[in-house]
Structure 1
């Protein structure tokens, strides 16, 4: 059994415990959504999740997706991000290395950057009565593509102003 299959088995067991404890139904659709999320890597929004499940010929209603995501958020198997756009992005929490999110505030593009552990052993000892399981770091800025576009727009404006002055 490879590591991804182990993670998928673990999260299914965790989800079963959560559903049992909170007296929710254990439906095939919920488990299919969980398995689909843990079969792919990276961020997703509800529309992309819906489309990818349809592409795999798994018919599921949007209401079921939204309800299941709420359950997965509540039991800690999925995390929700709001990177500044109006669309919420999600990603799985188990089997995910700690990483940073680099977000361009101009175009909205999001990159993941793997990092070393943010906390040293000494820093972890200082955080008493707390176990760090997972963390995210958001870094906002402007990507090189957008910086280049801004620079080109400024140069264009300067040329236009210069031409206006020369034509007077």
Structure 2
């Protein structure tokens, strides 16, 4: 596994080559966004990335963030996920270089995203690909349920109690 510094350097090199190949500008904003993405270990949406850039006092427009994320997805430096949140149109992103393929667990209450790897997933992918004579390039597996995080459980109970109180007022 590469360390953070060499991973960012490899990502920068890959982005530079992609931009040259596609005839796109090699702007400082694109590379700053790449570095912000590769400094994170979470799943984020474009707005969270935009806010993080501004907290770092890096003036970049929302349009630049959105457009750069699409470039990073196209050159396989970032993975785009649709987790079926309440807002089904919201994409969540994660860095992809140097990361093994994994699956996700999503809490339906707090929306926390957890990752897990299981070698049996690779076996299933290979078996299905061979059986159907299909070259599987990637896969996505998401489990939805309730996490056992104490803060999430307390928040869920409080929301249920609040809903019950509201029902009592309208009844």
Same fold (TM over 0.5): yes
Secondary structure in 2 matching 1:83: coil
| Residue matched to 1:24 | 24
| Residue matched to 2:97 | 94
TM-score, with normalisation over the residues of structure 2?
0.72
Secondary structure in 1 matching 2:116: strand
Instruction: Name stretches of at least 5 consecutive residues in structure 2 with no aligned partner.
Output: none
Report if aligned partners of 2:129, 2:135 keep a CA contact under 8 Å in 1: no
Counterpart-to-counterpart distance in 1, 2:111 and 2:41: 19
| Residue matched to 1:53 | 53
Q: How far 1:56 moved relative to its partner?
A: 1.2
TM-score, with normalisation over the residues of structure 1?
0.74
| Residue matched to 2:116 | 113
| Residue matched to 2:106 | 103
C-alpha RMSD of matched pairs (Å)? 3.0
More divergent stretch after superposition (95-104 vs 20-29): 95-104
Instruction: Name stretches of at least 5 consecutive residues in structure 1 with no aligned partner.
Output: 161-168
Secondary structure in 1 matching 2:142: strand
Counterpart-to-counterpart distance in 2, 1:117 and 1:10: 29
Report if aligned partners of 1:84, 1:108 keep a CA contact under 8 Å in 2: no
